[in-house]
Amino acid sequence: MLKFTRQSDPEIAALVDEELHRQEHNIEMIASESTAPLEVMELSGSVFTNKTLEGYPGRRFQAGSEVADKVERLAWERAKELFGAEHVNIQSYSGSTANYSVFASVLNPGDKILAMRLDQGGHLTHGSPANWVSKIYTHVFYGVDKETERIDYDALDKLAKEEKPKMIIAGASSYPRLIDYERIAKIAEEVGAYFMVDMAHIAGLVAAKVIPSPIPYADFVTSSTTKTFCSARSGMVFCKEKYAKILDKGTFPGSLGSLMFHTMAAKTWSFKYAASEEFRQIMQQVVVNARKLAEELTKYGFRIVSGGTDNHLLVVDLRGKGITGTVFQDALDAVGITVNKNMIPFDPEKPSVTSGVRIGLTSVTQRGLKEPEITEIASIMNQVAQAPTDEKNLAECKERAEALISKFPLYQAGAFDD
């Protein structure tokens, strides 16, 4: 895939090779990552990169749109069929811009948004003070119950009635449990709020019908298309038909400019692939593997936030092991297991240190790892946690990790031969 770059710029080509080598030899367990199928790579690099277009099929601002229009229309049909949605807009560049386009469509400056706290699993773009949306809208937050570490729906209900937000957002970056969309939709209806679900992390599981879909319950459902959906770095938004016009206008010209047809082509392929039996089986195994890892780590004395998982990720509380999230992340990184440090609910540590790590199972499952390999990963993680700064221990663990992952190629042999 780098035939020409190798000749004109060996330096950047070498960095791509280096990253491929890193991914091939590491056990990638960042919960927001997955491995893009080769078709997604091809289409993301296709001639659609050259096309500048704004607007919608039949209503473009530039000429030469006849082929691109066919792509966007095909994407609509496939996406609506796959997710059982009334309307889709696939112009977002990412999950973040998908969220921004919904805000631009239905909110005014000063409007109030009720969303999940970032430090208990929410997302930056839902209203963190660090994100620009906090300068435009007012934010109030709900969280999880201290005992169960699951969303406290009674507190959410009470807060919604007190605060009367214009929008309630569900969806999270590090919440391992199913969300009761029906209940939140009812609360939103009672207080006259829009209900938006950000399903970025779980879109693949939803597409494969492995976990329940928010689409029947929410006014708007946003998503990135990487993560469990395993597609291009891009976004998508679904809504009820009654909001179709307002969403399209809020997306373009409301919040986005010219389109990225190369990733739109890749997403179009993924809307077909995600309906396949192959994808369904991978997604089903992702959940099985996540549960298995939670179970195995529990046997080694790790505490799993909320006691387990229903989706592709788990959050591990490391306090019982006497180590922080940073220490464990760095030690695992040194042995070739990639995870990220993560706040646990009511975390006493700073966000730069944390008491936990978040672990995702999508990439390893795509590579073919099943329960026996997950058992081995848990055992390696336990060995790392026992002596996270002991070089001899880390070297032994690295050997075990490398032996395991080398049996499961990232891509088929010869995929990147020029």
Instruction: By CB under 6 A, tell whether 126 contacts ligand DSN.
Output: no
Q: Is 234 in the site for ligand DSN (CB under 6 A)?
A: no
User: Please, how many CA atoms are within 13 Å of residue 363, restricted to the half-sphere of its CB?
Assistant: 25
Give the span between the Cα atoms of 233 and 219, in whole angstroms.
Answer: 24
How far apart CA 365 and CA 38 sit, in angstroms, is: 16
Whether the CA torsion 295, 384, 25, 9 is positive or negative: it is positive
Shortest approach of ligand DSN to residue 249 CB, angstroms? 26
Return the number of the residue (123 or 139) whose C-beta is nearest ligand DSN: 123
Pick the closer one to ligand DSN by CB: 185 or 232.
232
Query: Is residue 123 at the binding interface for ligand DSN, with CB under 6 A as the rule?
Result: yes
- Cα 176 to Cα 337: distance, rounded to the nearest angstrom: 20
Nearer CB in complex with ligand DSN: 227/262: 227
Q: For residue 238, give the nearest of 150, 179, 139, 171 by alpha carbon.
A: 171
- How many angstroms separate the CA atoms of 195 and 193, rounded? 6
Provide φ and ψ at 347, rounded to 5°. Answer: -65, 125
Structure tokens at 232: 């291009």
Residue facing ligand DSN at closest CB distance:
32
Instruction: Report helix, strand or coil for 72.
Output: helix
d(CA 261, CA 43): 9
32 binds ligand DSN per the rule CB under 6 A: yes
* Residue pointed to by tokens 């099929």: 57
Of 65 and 128, CB closest to ligand DSN: 128
Closest contact distance (angstroms) between CB of 5 and ligand DSN is 27
Using rule CB under 6 A, residue 268 touches ligand DSN: no
Q: Which is nearer to ligand DSN, 173 or 309 (CB)?
A: 173
Select 34 or 366, whichever has its Cβ closest to ligand DSN.
34
CB 320 to ligand DSN: min, Å? 25
Check binding of 173 to ligand DSN (CB under 6 A).
Answer: yes
Q: Enter the tokens of residue 31.
A: 């919960």
* Shortest Cβ 50–ligand DSN spacing (Å): 28
Interaction of residue 131 with ligand DSN, rule CB under 6 A: no
Give me the residues that bind ligand DSN (CB under 6 A), please.
32, 123, 173
